[in-house]
Amino acid sequence: MSTAAEAGRARTRPTSRAYWLRRSPVGRFIKRLAFWVLIAAIFIYALFPFYWAVRSAFTPPSELFNTPIQYFPTHPTLANFRDALNTDFFRRALLNSTIVAGSVTLISLLIGSLAAYALGRFRFRGRSAVLYLMLSMTIFPQIAILGALYTMISNFHLYNTLGALILTYLIFTLPFTVWVLTTFMRGLPGDLEEAAYVDGATPIQVFYKVLLPLIAPGLVTTGLLAFIAAWNEYLYAVSFIQTPQNYTVPLAITSFVGKSGQAFQVPWGSIMAATVIVTLPLIAATLVLQRRILAGLTAGAVKG
Amino acid sequence: MSSVATPAPVSGRRRRRTKLQRRQSRLAWLLLLPALAVVAFVAIYPLGKTVYQSFTNQEFLAGITPTKWVGLENYRTLWHDTLFRNSVIETVKFTLITVSFEFVLGLVIALVVNSSFKGRGLMRAVMLVPWAIPTVVAAKMWQWMLDDVFGVVNDIGVRTGILSHPHAWISDPATALASVCAVDIWKTTPFVALLLLAGLQVIPRDLYEAADVDGAGPVQQFFRITLPLLRPAILVVLIFRTLDALRVFDVFYVFFGQRPDTQTMAIYNQSTIVGDGHVGYGAAISVAIFLIISLFVVIYVTFVRVTDE
């Protein structure tokens, strides 16, 4: 059956190219050349700024502020990385951001998977209303509640603490986690669950013994996306955090100043080293989980 | 749906099922409770509080002026506030420029990467890199690239003869907006392309083969097959990108701080609340932003409805 279809398709495959381009070797060459030029252009466009940060991070400051510009560090050095890591608030920021993003991710996954279990595997009145609420929360403009949060946080004496960020970041990570995990929960077949119920399992046992292991890939992907969102957040961080020892990574990146004696000069070498340090783990995680992230994006786009 | 009252004979089996359903529904709400409590506490309550604050003259340092109800006073002031008006214009300009560039460039990239070639997997991985870089970090990278003396953009421009002399991209008001847009477009276009690529890949091949047989050229195929079938993906991308762009904060803040000629709505709002401590007036700005963003949502939804008919 399928082979017949394949054969049929092979026979009628005059692909969609203009006639002369397909027939003449010159035309074909030009077409292939144009295609690869485009591919190369996209490749360079996507990667060049990151390459530039890497090359600036490895270039000694003396060469960094010299013209003509070197496109490749002729005397690569680790001095910028040392400077960045020796900056107190930057080291603290790495720790702070890990604490904040880690806690937010864990809380979101914990609360979110329970909610997703209810929304994905139960039928009850009000279910779609809750789903709509969660979906509308994912596009909620965070700026719209800044003033209220600002006064709430100062009333709770959370101003200038990491707790303020952990609390407020849930606004964007939790609804998103609920929404994505619900689609994962819904996609599971019902048989295993029924078998477990027949064996006398309680709904809670079904949840953490049957369903949770099955959506583990979903938990990893969603967790990573929530972590990245919290790691990158800037608006609330810049509004609720004041002292350098509580800075998160985005605050630290924007706070590097020149050493005494050259205060007028922005220490671009250290800044670029810092950007490379904070970005590499994210890029690595993204590339490792690439297929899963793409699958998640695909599911969203198709369902939308 | 099932609530339509049908006077059906109440059999024992049916009653047991409703009992089970009731128990299920109770458990479901119990599972939802923590999530709903968090959402209520960190989003819905603050939203209500913001609306209330917008009718007061609340200051962050409450000791100085006692907070009292001022009615529509804040909104009247806001209507004549040129700083706010400029910030709205700036934000809308930014949104129109970035969303249209990201959409067109993203579509081109998606179409190119959609054709099968060696290294396509690598290409898709590469496209995730800008997306994974934090916005603030991306802004810093570009700020350095756009540096007026040691920036690589000026260097390339001068070497290739496109620029006659180095240009101060960020501090010159004429190119300030363009330079922020460049950062956003760089960071977001690959993401847009990936979403559109996902949409392209569910279009059945047979359609193109049938079109080939019927003698339709590539241009005709694009407008008659690709574009109409990609519509759902396109709409999702446009809606999400627009809403995102309207609340832009990070790039502008890193590039300009609170420079008045390049404030977005979000920056003006943040500096009013946190910088100046005018919580009441800031809340009115927040409500206005909320309404403006809602307006865009309504426009999109109406557009979808109208074209669907």
CATH number of domain containing A162: 1.10.3720.10
Q: Measuring CA to CA, which residue among B55, B44, B85, B49 is closest to residue A147?
A: B49
Instruction: Count the domains in chain A.
Output: 2
- A149 and A70 belong to one structural domain: no
Say if the Cβ atoms of B266 and A279 lie within 8 Å: no
Q: Measuring CA to CA, which residue among A247, A303, A300 is closest to residue A274?
A: A247
Among A43, A148, A302, beta carbon nearest to B46: A148
Nearest residue in chain B measured CA to CA from A112: B35
- Which three-class secondary structure state does DSSP give residue B144? helix
Q: Is the peptide bond before A68 cis (omega within 30 degrees of 0)?
A: yes
- A126 and A22 belong to one structural domain: no
Q: Measuring CA to CA, which residue among A249, A120, A100 is closest to residue A168?
A: A100
State pLDDT tens for residues B187-203.
999 989 988 988 898 88
Domain-located, residue A241: yes
- A175 and A205 belong to one structural domain: yes
**DSSP code at position B5:** -
- A239 and A94 belong to one structural domain: yes
Domain-located, residue A3: no
| Final residue belonging to a domain, choices A77, A92, A125 | A77
Say if the Cβ atoms of A124 and B28 lie within 8 Å: yes
Give the confidence band of B309 by pLDDT, cuts at 50, 70, 90.
low
- A184 and A49 belong to one structural domain: no
Residue B297 and residue A154 in contact, taking contact as beta carbons nearer than 8 Å:
no
Best mutation target among B91, B128, B170 (most A Cβ atoms within 10 Å) is B128
Q: What is the mean pLDDT of residues A50-62?
A: 92
- A129 and A21 belong to one structural domain: no
Give the confidence band of A298 by pLDDT, cuts at 50, 70, 90.
low
**pLDDT at residue A39 greater than cutoff 50:** yes
Q: What is the mean pLDDT of residues A182-199?
A: 87
Partners of A151 on chain B (C-beta within 8 Å) are 49, 53, 58, 60, 279
What does the alpha-carbon distance between residue A200 and residue A206 come to, in Å, rounded to a whole number?
A: 10
Nearest CA to CA, how far is B174 from chain A (Å)?
A: 23
Which residue range(s) make up the domain with B258? 88-263
**pLDDT at residue B108 greater than cutoff 70:** yes
Domain-located, residue B166: yes
Nearest residue in chain B measured CA to CA from A174: B35
Say if the Cβ atoms of B141 and A141 lie within 8 Å: no
- A47 and A145 belong to one structural domain: no
Query: Which pTM value belongs to this model?
Result: 0.87
Nearest CA to CA, how far is B224 from chain A (Å)?
A: 14
Measuring CA to CA, how many Å separate A254 from each of A88, A207, A257, A271, B211? 14, 44, 9, 8, 54
Q: Evaluate whether ipTM surpasses 0.90.
A: no
Partners of B216 on chain A (C-beta within 8 Å) are 16
pLDDT of residue B142: 96
pLDDT of residue A22: 61
Domain-located, residue B62: no
Domain-located, residue A6: no
**pLDDT at residue B223 greater than cutoff 50:** yes
Which residue range(s) make up the domain with A107? 80-303
| Final residue belonging to a domain, choices A77, A99, A120 | A77
Partners of B24 on chain A (C-beta within 8 Å) are 122-124
Nearest residue in chain A measured CA to CA from B274: A239
Domain-located, residue A8: no
Say if the Cβ atoms of B117 and A298 lie within 8 Å: no
What does the alpha-carbon distance between residue A237 and residue A149 come to, in Å, rounded to a whole number?
A: 12
Domain-located, residue A4: no
What does the alpha-carbon distance between residue B297 and residue B290 come to, in Å, rounded to a whole number?
A: 11
Among A35, A68, A141, beta carbon nearest to B289: A141
pLDDT of residue B102: 96
Q: Provide the β-strand partners of residue B69.
A: B56
Q: In the numeric block, which tokens belong to residue B10?
A: 């109440």
Domain-located, residue B289: no
Amino acid present at B11: S
What's the sign of the alpha-carbon dihedral B4, B7, B8, B13?
positive
What does the alpha-carbon distance between residue A270 and residue A81 come to, in Å, rounded to a whole number?
A: 6
Amino acid present at A128: S
Q: In the numeric block, which tokens belong to residue B303?
A: 């557009």
Q: What is the mean pLDDT of residues A186-191?
A: 86
Give me the residue label for tokens 């909610």. Answer: A115
Q: What is the mean pLDDT of residues A107-131?
A: 93
- A72 and A215 belong to one structural domain: no
- On whether any CB of chain B is under 8 Å from the CB of A99, the answer is no
Instruction: Count the domains in chain B.
Output: 1
Say if the Cβ atoms of A12 and B266 lie within 8 Å: no
Give the confidence band of A248 by pLDDT, cuts at 50, 70, 90.
very high
* Half-sphere exposure (Cβ direction) of B59: Cα atoms closer than 13 Å: 7
Domain-located, residue A214: yes
**DSSP code at position B280:** H
Q: In the numeric block, which tokens belong to residue B169?
A: 């991209």
- A141 and A274 belong to one structural domain: yes
Domain-located, residue B119: yes
A 180-199 residues inside an 8 A Cβ radius of B: none
- The string over A217-252, giving b where at least 16 C-beta atoms fall within 10 Å of a residue's C-beta and e elsewhere, is ebbebbbbbbbbbbbbbbbbbbbbbeeeebbbbbbb
Q: What is the mean pLDDT of residues B287-309?
A: 86
**Average model confidence (pLDDT) across chain B:** 88
What does the alpha-carbon distance between residue B60 and residue A150 come to, in Å, rounded to a whole number?
A: 9
- On whether any CB of chain B is under 8 Å from the CB of A131, the answer is no
Among B128, B149, B250, beta carbon nearest to A293: B128
Domain-located, residue A251: yes
Q: What is the CA radius of gyration of chain A?
A: 26
Q: What is the CA radius of gyration of chain B?
A: 26
What does the alpha-carbon distance between residue A266 and residue A199 come to, in Å, rounded to a whole number?
A: 67
A 239-258 residues inside an 8 A Cβ radius of B: 239, 249-250, 253-254
- A190 and A50 belong to one structural domain: no
Domain-located, residue A96: yes
| Cβ neighbours of B283 (radius 10 Å) | 30
pLDDT of residue B2: 39
Domain-located, residue B40: no
**Worst-scoring range by mean pLDDT, A62-76, A228-242, B73-87, B180-194?**
A62-76
| Final residue belonging to a domain, choices A58, A77, A96 | A77
Q: Provide the β-strand partners of residue B56.
A: B69
Say if the Cβ atoms of A122 and B233 lie within 8 Å: no
Give me the residue label for tokens 């421009």. Answer: B157
State pLDDT tens for residues B235-270.
889 988 999 999 999 999 999 987 888 899 999 999
- A148 and A204 belong to one structural domain: yes
CATH of the domain at B208: 1.10.3720.10
Stronger pLDDT, B47 or A289, i.e. the higher one: B47
Domain-located, residue B52: no
- A61 and A91 belong to one structural domain: no
